[in-house]
Amino acid sequence: MSDDPASEGESGPTHPTAASQSPTGAAILNIPKVSIQGSSSESEDTPPTPTASGESGPAETAEGEAHPNATNQNDDDSIGEFDDGRSGKLTLGILLQEGIIEAGEGVMAIEYLGQTFKGDLMPVGKIRSQETGLVFNNPSAWAIYCKKIVNPAKKSGCGWASVKYKGRKMDHFKSQWTKLKAQRDAEEAERLASQEAQLAEDLRRGRQQLEKDLGAGLAPIIRHAQLSEKQPSDDLDIYVETDPFTDKARVQPFNMSVSASALLIIELHAQCHPVASTCGYLAGQWDINAHNLAITHAFPCLGMSDMAEPDRSAKIEFDIYNAIYRKHLVLVGWYKSCPSNLPKPLPTLRDVEAQLAHQVRLLGANDATYSPCIGMIFKPLGLNLSAAKSDCLAYWVVPPLETNPYDYGKPMMMAYTCIVDPCLSQDALDQIDRILEQRQDLIHQDPSLGLESRGLLESLGDSIKRKAPLDQQGLLWPYIYLYFPSVFRLNPFKMEVPTLKLTDNILCQRVNTFLSGFILDDQRSDQVRQIFESELDAGMKDGLEGSSLQMENTYVPDLINGTEEGQFLSLDLGGTNFRVILLELKAGKIVREEVRYYQVPEEKRLGQGEDLFDFLGICIYDFTDKLGLSQSCQSLALGFTFSFPMTQTAMNQGVLVSWTKSFNCPGVVGKDVVDLLNHSLAKVKPDSQKNLSIEVIAILNDTTGTLVKGAYDRPNTCIGLILGTGCNGAYFERSENVIRWHGGKYDCKNVIIDPEFGAFGDNGCLDFIKTKFDEAIDSASLLPQSFTYEKYFAGKYIGELARIVMVDMNKERLLFPCQDVEGLLIQDGFPSTMLTEVVEDNLNQSVERTITVLKKFSANCSPDDALIVQHICLVLSERAALLVGIPMAVFLRRMKTQEGLIAVTGSLYKCHPNLKARMEFFTRKYYPEWKGESFLSDDGSGKGAGLIAAIAKRLEL
């Protein structure tokens, strides 16, 4: 295969029979191998922090009071020979292994109230009493045994402090070991840090080299006017500027359109092979009357990277030619990619020459056989995010004047319209598969080819998704994404937080250790998933009686079906804003929508329940008054989104289980909220509205509203997730599985369940992931010991978690080391909006905005401080994504849907730069078959209430 289509006189895409006829010169650059070993997750390798028992020796536990049978493995510090020391717990076995003490007869002693007891130290780290011959697992057990002989009332043995080895207290040997361990830990930390720094440096160098190599061939860019007549010595690799036809008020020779799926294939092809030029053919239709060239298909030349195999290249081109022919298409051009670090896509002089030759060749003998030929150049995304965006140029070459046949043709930019196809054809999907398969092969041969950053992939996903038909956007990218495992190659499915890099390696290590409690390894995440599943089953059966998941039946059995008509009132209460909405539906479509917001003051959120509901009533009448509704209608059906846990016995009945978030009004828990609202509506009704009757026909949770509103937006929706101040998600359950159903079961296949998963773990089943910071958040919250799961990550808490971590780090002098930062001490002083801003700054590889945020707390914020705070926010965000992803995966799997979509409402989801992507990643981790996505369904909680009221009216429930 020639690497120069222009230089081959007879070459061109029209006649794909010889190896030399490839459309482009896809040069394979020499890519340096980049080191890819090592983990980016430092937490895994973090040496464990010594536990309290490790620091102070085994606690004096009751284990000595039991029969001191040495083989009882349940004893607190009896792990003896089974302990490898990594738990941080010191045992005699470890001291023996370390050579600090030696086994021997009579080397152990206890002196107590004038009596001396002697013991042998056994090679397995146990003590044999010389007096009784009994064997003890540890000093504590032996000490309490001996002391009780002298003083039966003695409860504890002070093992390590009272037992002596060769005349010296065991404490002495313990501190020897502690020092040794600390020294070793420090050495290990240093080794790991330097290993990581080295790996990071290798990676950076590798990338730099890669970029350099890609840019190495970057010849200068010149304007056409600078070119003189052709000379054999001309450098054909220089790039030539292209101008639009409009510049010189010239008219484009023909109109042009390109299908979005052809662009998608060109882009994916180039991006999947970022280090070499990619090429392919363009096919479509030429409409001679309309003078329009429609490019409908792109045919990538896949597998042409092996220059040594010309026959193979010829075969590939031949197959493409046949495919074009079979589809009754016309060959209309070719495409190739250019280096990502060119400022914009440009053809080389060689491309210009080749293009002109192709144009001439496609001219045909007469109008009937003529078709124009287009060249397209695609510039992929750079390997690092700072590189400019991808871009695609279409160009056509104006031939030189007949009087100057030795001049170069002038490449001109062609304007084109992009046409989004109604659906992705099977052809296009097959091409996508083939591109992705080739990518897998390439990475298999050279793993360094898969060095995309997550940020790059997200930009690629956005760009590709925009080129897919609307109803397939959600499916396409997740599907393609599965082929990019390289991003997670270092740490396949673990929580993944970019490695913290600080100038001070030891500080870096200490920060990582400090935050390690937030990192859930695979085993613990899987445990969370399993417990979630079993709590779900228990909740389905017994609700809160048997589980921390309430799994409440909402009695909503259906979605909007397109027949709903009329005006409906919606209420949305859950945060500090109360919303009243009027929705008007025609044939199931929202045709009018009016909204008003009312601030709910703190005294109403924490005051008597009756006052709160009177306040809601007053707002509702204010709304109906402002809209003149009492004049225009006599009765209004109302749907009430009440975003708190309720037990329901019907769609229009909901008893409050407990307040959450920032509400705590006495007198409401245990009461039917619909009754309370009806009562207030009657009580505060102004005379001016006496003709208007408002009937509350549905009460719902915000997740239920979001699910119904999401399905209104996109029919495949099967989960409504709230990821805002609080968190919870509703899904469809098969009605035969719903046991708790008051009144007769409706005849319906499914019903929406509100699991109230914010309360997951309230029964202690998740305590194994609780850090001391989570405990602190809970005890400082309005309602301690409730809504445990939500407090790990929801918008009301995540910023606060970051703040208390910062306060503690400041105390430990890990953060802002030279000062006590008092500004940080204000509760809720670091809201989730700050956290999302900091994460965004990190993803943009900057610290500027972080420093500006932190300046509010401390005047002296170093770049290292900013990096540490970014790291805290990333770790907490990653944990949030994991903990939300788990329930999503469990629900999707339960519904057995691969295409199901998740509609989301909530500021945390909306504002966080990558929570969506990471949550989807973890969802897919636990349900790999899932091809759907999550999407923002704005105001699901508000509009959903109106939609559900309309459904209730239609079904007459």
Helix ranges, 504-597 (H): 505-515, 522-542
Contact between 661 and ligand BGC by CB under 6 A: the answer reads yes
CA-atom Rg of the chain in angstroms: 35
- Identity of the residue, 680 or 781, whose beta carbon is nearer to ligand BGC in the bound complex: 781
Closest approach, Cβ 654 to ligand BGC, in A, equals 10
Q: Which residues contact 43 (CB under 8 A, 6 or more apart)?
A: 512, 515, 516, 519
Contact between 940 and ligand BGC by CB under 6 A: the answer reads no
Cα–Cα distance list, 441 to 71, 207, 285, 431, 492 (Å): 56, 21, 34, 15, 19
Q: What letter would DSSP give residue 52?
A: H
Q: Please give the residues from 752 up to 781 whose contact with ligand BGC meets the rule CB under 6 A.
A: 756, 758
Query: How far is 265 from 432, CA to CA, in rounded Å?
Result: 7
Q: 410: number of CA atoms within 13 Å, CB side? A: 15
Name the segment binding ligand BGC (CB under 6 A); options: 641-649, 666-674, 686-694, 843-851: 641-649
- Identity of the residue, 392 or 722, whose beta carbon is nearer to ligand BGC in the bound complex: 722
Q: What are phi and psi of 185, to 5 degrees?
A: -60, -45
Q: Determine the 3-state secondary structure of 626 from DSSP.
A: helix
Name the segment binding ligand BGC (CB under 6 A); options: 51-59, 330-338, 415-423, 725-733: 725-733
Closest approach, Cβ 739 to ligand BGC, in A, equals 21
Exposed (0-12), middle (13-18) or buried (19+): which is 95, by Cβ within 10 Å?
A: buried
- Identity of the residue, 395 or 659, whose beta carbon is nearer to ligand BGC in the bound complex: 659
Q: Please give the residues from 573 up to 592 whose contact with ligand BGC meets the rule CB under 6 A.
A: 574
Closest approach, Cβ 123 to ligand BGC, in A, equals 58
- Identity of the residue, 263 or 581, whose beta carbon is nearer to ligand BGC in the bound complex: 581
Q: What letter would DSSP give residue 415?
A: P
Name the segment binding ligand BGC (CB under 6 A); options: 172-180, 187-195, 416-424, 719-727: 719-727
Query: Taking a C-beta distance cutoff of 8 angstroms, is the pair 581, 942 a contact?
Result: yes
- Identity of the residue, 275 or 612, whose beta carbon is nearer to ligand BGC in the bound complex: 612
Query: Taking a C-beta distance cutoff of 8 angstroms, is the pair 732, 895 a contact?
Result: yes
Closest approach, Cβ 656 to ligand BGC, in A, equals 10
**Pattern 782-821, binding to ligand BGC, x per CB under 6 A?**
-----x--x-------------------------------
Q: Specify the length of the chain in residues.
A: 957
Q: DSSP letter string over 3-44?
A: S-TTTSTT--TT-TTSGGG-SS--PBP-PPP----S-S-HHH
The partner residues of 163 in beta bridges, in order of sequence, read: 110
Query: How far is 396 from 359, CA to CA, in rounded Å?
Result: 8
Query: Taking a C-beta distance cutoff of 8 angstroms, is the pair 558, 752 a contact?
Result: no
Query: How far is 839 from 875, CA to CA, in rounded Å?
Result: 10
The partner residues of 700 in beta bridges, in order of sequence, read: 641
Name the segment binding ligand BGC (CB under 6 A); options: 26-34, 477-485, 511-519, 695-703: 695-703
Closest approach, Cβ 525 to ligand BGC, in A, equals 22
**Pattern 526-565, binding to ligand BGC, x per CB under 6 A?**
----------------------------------------
Q: DSSP letter string over 329-389?
A: -EEEEEEEE--TTSSS---BHHHHHHHHHHHHHHT-SSTTT----EEEEEEPPPSSTTSPP
Closest approach, Cβ 701 to ligand BGC, in A, equals 5
> Directed axis angle between helix 454-466 and helix 915-926, to 10°?
90
Closest approach, Cβ 524 to ligand BGC, in A, equals 24
Closest approach, Cβ 646 to ligand BGC, in A, equals 8
Name the segment binding ligand BGC (CB under 6 A); options: 157-165, 190-198, 639-647, 848-856: 639-647
Q: DSSP letter string over 884-900?
A: HHHHHHHHHHHHT-SS-
Name the segment binding ligand BGC (CB under 6 A); options: 207-215, 581-589, 696-704, 767-775: 696-704
- Identity of the residue, 700 or 872, whose beta carbon is nearer to ligand BGC in the bound complex: 700
Contact between 944 and ligand BGC by CB under 6 A: the answer reads no
Count of residues interacting with ligand BGC (CB under 6 A): 17
- Identity of the residue, 267 or 790, whose beta carbon is nearer to ligand BGC in the bound complex: 790
Closest approach, Cβ 343 to ligand BGC, in A, equals 47
> Residue with the closest Cβ to ligand BGC?
726
- Identity of the residue, 375 or 755, whose beta carbon is nearer to ligand BGC in the bound complex: 755
Closest approach, Cβ 702 to ligand BGC, in A, equals 5
- Identity of the residue, 313 or 658, whose beta carbon is nearer to ligand BGC in the bound complex: 658
Contact between 662 and ligand BGC by CB under 6 A: the answer reads no
Candidate residues 660, 750, 877, 923; the one interacting with ligand BGC per rule CB under 6 A: 660
Closest approach, Cβ 928 to ligand BGC, in A, equals 28
Q: What are phi and psi of 633, to 5 degrees?
A: -150, 160
Cα–Cα distance list, 212 to 14, 32, 218, 865, 930 (Å): 35, 10, 9, 32, 39
Cα angle 159, 162, 167; round to 5? 125
- Identity of the residue, 450 or 758, whose beta carbon is nearer to ligand BGC in the bound complex: 758
Candidate residues 24, 137, 703, 937; the one interacting with ligand BGC per rule CB under 6 A: 703
Helices (H) and strands (E) in the chain, counts: 28, 30
Query: Taking a C-beta distance cutoff of 8 angstroms, is the pair 374, 394 a contact?
Result: yes
Query: How far is 21 from 12, CA to CA, in rounded Å?
Result: 5
Q: Which residues contact 766 (CB under 8 A, 6 or more apart)?
A: 528, 531, 760, 788, 789
- Identity of the residue, 78 or 570, whose beta carbon is nearer to ligand BGC in the bound complex: 570
Name the segment binding ligand BGC (CB under 6 A); options: 270-278, 289-297, 298-306, 700-708: 700-708
Query: Taking a C-beta distance cutoff of 8 angstroms, is the pair 684, 922 a contact?
Result: no
Query: How far is 299 from 297, CA to CA, in rounded Å?
Result: 7
Owner of token pair 């407990």: 658
Contact between 644 and ligand BGC by CB under 6 A: the answer reads yes
Name the segment binding ligand BGC (CB under 6 A); options: 150-158, 708-716, 722-730, 868-876: 722-730
Closest approach, Cβ 146 to ligand BGC, in A, equals 56
Candidate residues 645, 885, 887, 940; the one interacting with ligand BGC per rule CB under 6 A: 645
Name the segment binding ligand BGC (CB under 6 A); options: 330-338, 605-613, 626-634, 637-645: 637-645
**Pattern 281-310, binding to ligand BGC, x per CB under 6 A?**
------------------------------
Q: Which residues contact 679 (CB under 8 A, 6 or more apart)?
A: 613
Least Cα distance to 239 among 343, 129, 375 occurs for 343
- Identity of the residue, 40 or 706, whose beta carbon is nearer to ligand BGC in the bound complex: 706
Closest approach, Cβ 915 to ligand BGC, in A, equals 15
Closest approach, Cβ 240 to ligand BGC, in A, equals 58
- Identity of the residue, 356 or 540, whose beta carbon is nearer to ligand BGC in the bound complex: 540
Dihedral sign, Cα of residue 420, residue 425, residue 429, residue 432: negative
- Identity of the residue, 315 or 910, whose beta carbon is nearer to ligand BGC in the bound complex: 910
Contact between 701 and ligand BGC by CB under 6 A: the answer reads yes
Name the segment binding ligand BGC (CB under 6 A); options: 12-20, 56-64, 720-728, 811-819: 720-728
Cα angle 177, 180, 184; round to 5? 135
- Identity of the residue, 644 or 712, whose beta carbon is nearer to ligand BGC in the bound complex: 644
Q: What residues line the site for ligand BGC (CB under 6 A)?
A: 574, 643-645, 660-661, 701-703, 722, 726-728, 756, 758, 787, 790
